Amino acid sequence: GPESTHSAPPPQKPAASANPYAPDGWSYDRLPHEILGLNAGETDLAKIGKAFRAASLKAHPDKGGTVGLAAQLNAARDRLLGK
């Protein structure tokens, strides 16, 4: 039969993050520096690394964190390091 009875396509999840200030392709609500507890625009590799390690310890599932949070931290670190 004719295709006139097809259902509407499912709503697409917006490609943009919920945060209007997020960098392109960033899908988390919090920005990379916020996830790691850094100041906006932080570029000091030592500070980024230190913040990542500290946040990772808290985010570990054994410490009450989640796998999703750990993934956010990894993504935030990579974004701030320009990877």
pLDDT at 8: 60
More confident residue, 42 or 22: 42
pLDDT tens-digit series, residues 25-47? 888 889 999 999 999 989 999 99
More confident residue, 7 or 60: 60
pLDDT tens-digit series, residues 5-19? 656 655 554 444 456
- DSSP annotation string for the chain: --GGGPPPPPPPPPSS-SSTTSPTT--SSS-HHHHHT--TT---HHHHHHHHHHHHHHHSGGGT--HHHHHHHHHHHHHHTT-
| pTM for this model (two decimals) | 0.68
